[in-house]
Amino acid sequence: MVAILGFTREDILVAVKDMYTAVATAPSARFHFPVGLTGCRAVGYPEQALRGLPDAAIESFAGVGYPFRAGIVRAGDTVLDIGSGSGTDALIASRLVGPMGRVYALDMTPAMVAKLRGLIATTRASNIEVIEGNAERIALPDASVDVVTSNGMLNLVPDKRRAIAEMFRVLRPGGRVQIADIVIGLPVTPDCAADPKLWAECVVGATVAEDYLAMFRDAGFADVEVLREFDYFAHSASPDTQDVARRFHARSIEITMRRGARAPAKIVQLARRMDPRRIAAALERRGLAGIVALGVAACACYGTLAALAVLSVLGITLAVNDAAVAGVVALLAALAAAVVGLGMRKHRSAGPVLPAALGAALIGFAMLVRYDWRIELAGFVLLAAAVAWDWRLRRHAHAAPSQAPQSIDRTMSSAGSSPD
Ligand SMILES: C[S@@+](CC[C@H](N)C(=O)[O-])C[C@H]1O[C@@H](n2cnc3c(N)ncnc32)[C@H](O)[C@@H]1O
């Protein structure tokens, strides 16, 4: 079984199903996120979009934004709503596509599926077909839909890349996507990640915004555009959920994009994920860039010495360019010190900068001017202390409850390469 952030995939699916069974069957209970008509209004549904929809659909609404802001559903389209819940969006799409169009409503929670099926039987929405299933394996043929819509679902899915690849597969080339979802600004820390309930409340399963958008581009989507971001958790009735959401800068995002002509080869996707700038940014967000730079510097220095010693015991002599190794070690030590310097922007404390600078200077002196193992060791000890100090300060800054982010309605284009 795959363990994700400390609990298994099965734990997540069970927690999510339990949560949304409750939303389907007892919508007037108290939830830690906005539900029903209040929820629709909080996330920006215009009254006119809701007019005429069955109360039973709206009462179990649990979306996190208004994906139809993208305005991409046309008469005659085939639309797939992934994570359709009680069907508010599927019913809106059913009206937009008209009698010549078709809507597939897919959800994995049996209670939501039963509720929507019951609703359809009592309305004239005969162009909706409900599918019980998982977003990671959609029971529809390749290139069979014009539009994918989804609201509050992807953050709940354990294997997001797989779900995105499935969206790509079922869409026709040039097909369009509209999504409302939760993203975060800072990676979730292990203490919060160990709570499946927080996953089901849409906080812990969310992805850092930049990585979220990159996952779509990696999969072959083009023209990925952010239409709106806003503080969804300001509408939560739970101070605890609000606090966790604030810690990780969780917010709603409404996005649109189109499917490129073909999915990039797996090797190209992997190369994009391995882009050193992406890796450096991910390490920096986790506060680990300094630790990694220091670790690599120490490995380059002492690891090279240890490897040479072991090889000589085995009777193997290797010619190593001492100047090159010394240059790399000095450079990495300077990099680790620079990362500590950049930490000041996050935790506003200059404390670790002096030992970091001194440590890197001592290492540089020992490597490039006059080698003395004591100076080198003192440099590494100072730098390690500075990096550890910086990391602690970053964690504290991260954990401190920040100001509630203002609701931001903004339109911005996300720069990204088009795969076409
Ligand atoms: C936050 S609710 C939103 C429901 C609906 N879109 C709405 O706006 O009311 C998320 C829905 O996604 C469904 N869901 C979560 N993970 C899923 C998965 N892996 N596959 C299919 N559905 C999933 C849940 O059962 C739930 O009904």
Domain boundary among 205, 239, 274: 274
Residue 89: CB within 6 Å of ligand 1? yes
Are both 335 and 260 inside the same structural domain?
A: no
Are both 270 and 285 inside the same structural domain?
A: no
Predicted confidence (pLDDT) per residue in 91-142, tens digit: 999 999 999 999 999 999 999 999 999 999 888 789 999 999 999 999 999 9
* Number of domains the chain is built from: 2
Predicted confidence (pLDDT) per residue in 29-58, tens digit: 989 899 999 999 999 999 999 999 999 999
Mutate to test the pocket of ligand 1, among 10, 20, 33 (most ligand atoms within 8 A of CB): 20
- Please state, as a whole number, how many other Cβ atoms lie within 10 Å of the Cβ of residue 132: 16
Report the distance separating Cα 248 and Cα 271, nearest Å. Answer: 28
Q: Is 401 a residue whose pLDDT tops 80? A: no
- Which of 368, 348, 345, 364 lies closest to 356, judged by CA? 364
Would you state the pLDDT for residue 6? 53
Are both 252 and 364 inside the same structural domain?
A: no
Are both 86 and 125 inside the same structural domain?
A: yes
Predicted confidence (pLDDT) per residue in 282-307, tens digit: 777 777 777 887 888 788 778 777 78
Question: Quick one: which atom of ligand 1 is closest to the CA of 133?
Answer: 21
Question: Quick one: which atom of ligand 1 is closest to the CA of 151?
Answer: 6
Cα(84) to ligand 1 centroid in Å equals 6
Q: What's the alpha-carbon Rg for the chain, to the nearest Å?
A: 26
Would you state the pLDDT for residue 336? 86
Are both 39 and 101 inside the same structural domain?
A: yes
Q: E-assigned strands of 68-214?
A: 78-82, 102-107, 128-132, 145-151, 171-184, 207-208
Are both 119 and 228 inside the same structural domain?
A: yes
Examine residue 407 and state whether it is found in any structural domain, yes or no: no
Question: 347, 337 in Cβ contact below 8 A?
Answer: no
Are both 40 and 25 inside the same structural domain?
A: yes
Cα(106) to ligand 1 centroid in Å equals 8
**In which residue are the tokens 């019980």 written?**
132
Report the distance separating Cα 231 and Cα 132, nearest Å. Answer: 31
Report the distance separating Cα 232 and Cα 23, nearest Å. Answer: 18
Q: Is 240 a residue whose pLDDT tops 60? A: yes
Distances (CA, A) of 309 to 21, 304, 366: 63, 9, 20
Cα(63) to ligand 1 centroid in Å equals 8
Q: Which CB contacts under 8 angstroms, 24+ apart, belong to 306-314? A: none
Going by alpha carbons, the residue nearest to atom 24 of ligand 1 is 83
Are both 86 and 185 inside the same structural domain?
A: yes
Question: Quick one: which atom of ligand 1 is closest to the CA of 83?
Answer: 12
Examine residue 404 and state whether it is found in any structural domain, yes or no: no
Examine residue 418 and state whether it is found in any structural domain, yes or no: no
Structure tokens given for 119:
């609703």
On average, the pLDDT of the chain sits at: 86
Report the distance separating Cα 262 and Cα 150, nearest Å. Answer: 22
Are both 266 and 288 inside the same structural domain?
A: no
Please tell me which of 45-49, 278-282, 381-385 the model is most confident about, judged by mean pLDDT. Answer: 45-49
Cα(411) to ligand 1 centroid in Å equals 26
Are both 381 and 262 inside the same structural domain?
A: no
Are both 264 and 317 inside the same structural domain?
A: no
Are both 17 and 42 inside the same structural domain?
A: yes
Bridge partners (DSSP) listed for residue 151: 180
DSSP 286-335: TT-HHHHHHHHHHIIIIIHHHHHHHHHHTT------HHHHHHHHHHHHHH
The CATH code of the domain that includes 260 is 3.40.50.150
Residue 306 belongs to domain spanning: 281-399
What type of residue is 97? V
